[in-house]
């Protein structure tokens, strides 16, 4: 869906799937700081409850940064976390999209692979 974010591992099969939908979505590598912010502000449990420090402690993490690091290193996956929704619902980017939403990122648009630049877009959408 539009303005949604999903975390997926970087595997050859996932890369192939992303290549197929490249002209419909935008994607890239998230950094630890942005992932911690995403978890804290937009992470939800079943029943639309927010992620809380108490919940993190119950699953063995002391902070959002610690959970973000474990997710990035592949020690834990979002779908393995009990009650956590795998989708993050975001706002439209503040200031709007900088390019056309119909062109590829390399052509001055917003679609396709954008690498680490995805973090700047995510911060505007959180």
| 121 within 8 A of 37, measured Cβ to Cβ | no
What is the set of domains in the chain, with CATH numbers?
Answer: 4-125 (1.10.15.30)
Which tens digit of pLDDT belongs to each residue from 11-49? 999 999 999 999 999 999 999 999 999 999 999 999 999
Q: How large a percentage of the chain has pLDDT more than 90?
A: 94
Mean of pLDDT values over 86-93? 96
Taking 90 as the threshold, does the pLDDT of residue 65 lie above it?
Answer: yes
């Amino acid at each position: 869906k539009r303005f949604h974010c999903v975390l997926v591992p970087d595997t050859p099969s996932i890369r192939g799937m992303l290549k197929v939908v490249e002209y419909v979505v935008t994607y890239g590598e998230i950094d630890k700081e942005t992932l911690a912010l995403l978890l804290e502000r937009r992470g939800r449990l079943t029943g639309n409850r927010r992620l809380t420090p108490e919940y993190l402690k119950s699953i063995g993490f002391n902070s959002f940064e610690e959970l973000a690091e474990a997710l990035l290193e592949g020690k834990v996956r979002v779908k393995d976390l009990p009650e956590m929704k795998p989708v993050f619902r975001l706002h439209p980017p503040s200031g709007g999209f900088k390019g056309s939403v119909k062109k590829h990122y390399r052509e001055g648009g917003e679609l396709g692979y954008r690498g680490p630049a995805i973090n700047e877009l995510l911060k505007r959408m959180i």
